[in-house]
Amino acid sequence: MIPDKSHPVWKKVVFGQKPLTSSQLGLQMLLKRISTRITPASPAADVQAAIEELHNFFTKFERILVDEIKSLGV
């Protein structure tokens, strides 16, 4: 089950405080782009946009992200 986008785990992921391993190239590239743009000092709107994008990715590809969803640990 994918946690709701308001769940704190997403903020940890976009801040790089919760490492996520994946073999899905799209997710690897998305996480890299987020990590180069978003820090805890980033504007709240930018952080929220990154969370939305990541959540959308998980929602769309839920069927092939079984291990990644487990590793969110929620």
Q: Which residues bind another protein (CB under 8 A)?
A: 20-33, 35-36, 53, 56-57, 60-61, 63-64
Shortest distance in whole angstroms from residue 37 CB to another protein: 9
For residue 4, give both structure tokens: 């709701």
Which residue type sits at 4? Answer: D
Which C-beta is closer to another protein: that of 11 or that of 35? 35
Which C-beta is closer to another protein: that of 8 or that of 21? 21
Q: Measuring CA to CA, which residue among 31, 33, 6 is closest to residue 18?
A: 31
Which C-beta is closer to another protein: that of 2 or that of 30? 30
Shortest distance in whole angstroms from residue 18 CB to another protein: 12
CB neighbour list of residue 36: distance below 8 Å, 6 or more residues apart: none
Q: What are the DSSP E strand ranges found in the chain?
A: none
